[in-house]
Each structure stands twice: as C-alpha cells, then as structure tokens.
Amino acid sequence: MATVSSPVINKTNFSDNEPPEVVEARALARRYRLPYIDLLPPDKQSPISYEELAGIPVDLMLRNQFVPLKREGRNLHVGMADPTNLEVLDELENVLNVRIVPYVATAGAIDVILRKGDATQRVMQEAASGFKISLVKETDQGDEILDLDRLATDSEMSPIIKLVDTVVYNAMESRASDIHIEAGDRDVSVKFRIDGALYQKVDPIDIAYHQTLISRIKVMSELDIAERRIPQDGRFRVRYKGRTVDFRVSILPAAYGENCVIRILDKEQISEEFKNLSLDVVGFDEEDIKRFRLYIKEPYGMVLVTGPTGSGKTTTLYGALNEIRNVEDKIITIEDPVEYQLQGIMQIPVNEKKGLTFARGLRSILRHDPDKIMVGEIRDNETAQIAIQSALTGHLVFTTVHANNVIDVIGRFINMGVEPYNFVSALNCVL
C-alpha cells in the first residue's frame, strides 16, 4: 500500500518571484517530506519520461493529475498535484502494477504537459480512432449515406480526412455549438464554442494545410472548391452514435485566406433534452409568465417574441407550443432550421435553394387548415403580410423578429412596408 509521511511544519521562506501555485506546491512537498519537481524548467531538459507517458492511458493521467518521471524496477516515479490522496495512489499501483514514488508538481504544469504536448494528439487519436464520418445526402428517394473517403481520391487528402473527422468528433463530444476555423499568417486555429465561449481545443495547424482543409469541408458541403473570393454557405449531415446531426457551413474570405464556421445542430439530442420544455424553465418573472400564458391561449392573433441573436426567442416559442399543444388543434411550424423536434407538431424546414421560403411555405401552410402556426422569423414584407393576415383571420400565429427591444419592433415592421394599424390590430403581445 502506498504511504505518505506525516506532515511536518516547516517555516522555510520561498522566493517572492515564484507564482503562488509553485509556492503552495513547494510548501506541500516540505510538509509531507516529499521532493518537489519543476515539470517545465525554462533552460533544462524536461524530466518527463515520454516513453512511460506513451504507455499510460491518457484519461487515467488526466483524471488523477499525474505524469510519469522515470521507472526504476517496479518503482514508477511520478509528478502529482496531490500526492496525499492515498486512494489515488493505491488505485494507480493496482492499475499500473507498480510501486508509486510520488513527487509534488503543480497542477498547471501537469495540465500543460497532458493537454498541449504529444499527449494531446494521443487523446484525439484514441478518441477518434474508431470514428469515421458517414455523410448523409438528401436525394429525391430519401437520405443516402455516403462514405466520405469516396469523395476524395487524392492521396494527399488522407491526413486531412482524418483531421476533419477528428475535429468533428471532438466538437460533438465536447457538446460544442460551433466550430471556428481561422487562418493566420503562420498557422490555422481551430476553436469550439462551448456554453457561449470560444476554446482552442485543437493544437494550431500549419498554414500549408489550410486550403486543403477548407477544400475538404467544401466537398462535404457541396460547395465550389475553386471559388475562393466570395462567401459561400452550405450544409452537410453526419451519422453519429445512431443519430443524424446537421452541420451548417459558412465560408468567408479574409486577409490570410478563407475562414470557416460550422454550426452544429444535433436536433435529435436537443429534442430529447427539450421534450418536457415549459415556460417555467425559461426564466420569466412570475407575473410576466402569468400574463404570457393568457396570450398564448387566445384563439387567434399574433404572439411576437423579439430580442438579439441567442437571447432565447425560439426556445421561448417552443416552450409555449409545448404548453398549448393538444390533439384537438393542428399546429404547423416553418423554421430555418428546425432546431427541436416536437411530437404532434408538423414542422417544415425552409429550403431557399429549392425555392421553399418562409413566405411560400406560409402560404402552403394556410391551405392545410391549421389552428396554430409558428413562423421561425419574419424577414421580409411578404412573410409579414401573410402572417398578419393569418392572425386577423382566425389563426394563432407565433413568430420572432430580430430587434433589440419592443420599441424597435415597430420600426422593423414599418421598414418592411407594413402599415402600423394593420400590425397592431393583429397583435396579442410582444415579448
């Protein structure tokens, strides 16, 4: 069994120039009579044994915050952030079949080594080793699953295929909402947007691979790989863990080359998480939610939700639809894209390439005898006029408008050529 010496209080003074994390680690080492080791010496060779590092599961090192230093017979010397945890020491000895000799190291240095060194690439390779993208292509007969390796026969593309597969896999495993690929003067950065913030989860890629990387994404999205001077938008779908995931691609030329943003729309997972969505979890004040519930239960009129991008407009409308849906009413939505899939509701995705716009879809919806309609966004005069007319002729219409506040909504409708009296008479409420 691993043992750690009893604590000994030592009043040794440390350098004022050392970071607090190093000071604390040195104090911990002296207190427990353990050696302290600097894993990132500025002018010396790294004390890490990369041979031993390659033989230890990365997730084990990440979970227990340690790295191997050297092996002497059955003794494995390791740098640890917390060598006082006897349960961890015993687990490592059992799993690795060694006797652990602990050294004190800073958690920050361990994290740098595991996440930014060779181990980073091994984490990605191990995680994505069994993952190969299967592209789902929409055809007139339905969805056809393609092996992406058939789409590019150039031998130089093979590493890029693996790179794109790995980036996509890691983004989905990280539950990222977007992948940002940005070209610099010397390298290409790949960032994931997770919980609203951007994180660089992939090491920088040499700029020499930039155009091949972008071309690969263009092939997947059925875009023009020869066109590099104008923006392009596309989409592709992938089979992942038994479900279909949609990706929206935007290519934008910049100073150092084309940048790419890929929006991940995992609708099946989101739908599972939001199947019991209600207005109670949206964050309204009690008085506001009480009044809003009255308006969404009206037999006709327009319920308009406004706010900037990402403020929760669509989520609010889905919460409202979840609360009012029943077998007696027919509810139809038209959206770009369909973000959540709801049982008992007919949902239509906008497809402007095929000519299915909000306005055209809304006209067709009215011929299907709906009781309630949701229009994902009012963008133009035609859509606005049809939505208002629907609200005035016995339909309950839910919709959104991009505006920063309620007052700006009036200006948006006037700008779209809608008469204020017409709009106001159809309105139940603006949120």
pLDDT at 7 over 60: no
pLDDT for 181 equals 92
Q: Which residue would you say has higher pLDDT here, 217 or 279?
A: 217
pLDDT for 268 equals 62
Q: What is the pLDDT of residues 8-47, one digit of tens each?
A: 333 344 445 678 888 889 999 999 899 999 888 876 667 8
Residues of CATH 3.30.450.90 domain(s) within the chain? 130-265
pLDDT for 262 equals 92
Helix locations, 276-405, DSSP H: 286-296, 313-324, 358-366, 381-392
Residue 420: Cβ-neighbour burial (10 angstroms; 0-12, 13-18, 19+): exposed
The bridge status of strand 232-240 relative to strand 134-139 is antiparallel
130's CB contacts (< 8 A; 6+ apart) are none
Strand segments (E) across 57-120: 66-72, 75-80, 99-104
Residues of CATH 3.30.300.160 domain(s) within the chain? 20-117
pLDDT for 153 equals 41
| Of the options 3.30.1490.110, 3.40.1280.10, 3.30.450.90, 3.40.140.10, the CATH number for the domain spanning 130-265 | 3.30.450.90
The mean pLDDT of the chain is 79
pLDDT for 79 equals 92
**What separation in angstroms does the CA of 100 have from each of 38, 200, 370?**
18, 33, 70
Q: Which fold is adopted by the domain 269-430?
A: Rossmann fold (3.40.50)
Report if pTM > 0.85. Answer: no
Distance CA 380, CA 371 (A): 23
Name the band, by pLDDT with cuts 50, 70 and 90, for residue 116: low
Distance CA 378, CA 258 (A): 31
Residue 186: what are its φ and ψ, rounded to 5°? -120, -25
| Of the options 3.10.129.10, 3.30.300.160, 3.20.20.20, 3.50.50.60, the CATH number for the domain spanning 20-117 | 3.30.300.160
Distance CA 136, CA 58 (A): 33
Residues of CATH 3.40.50.300 domain(s) within the chain? 269-430
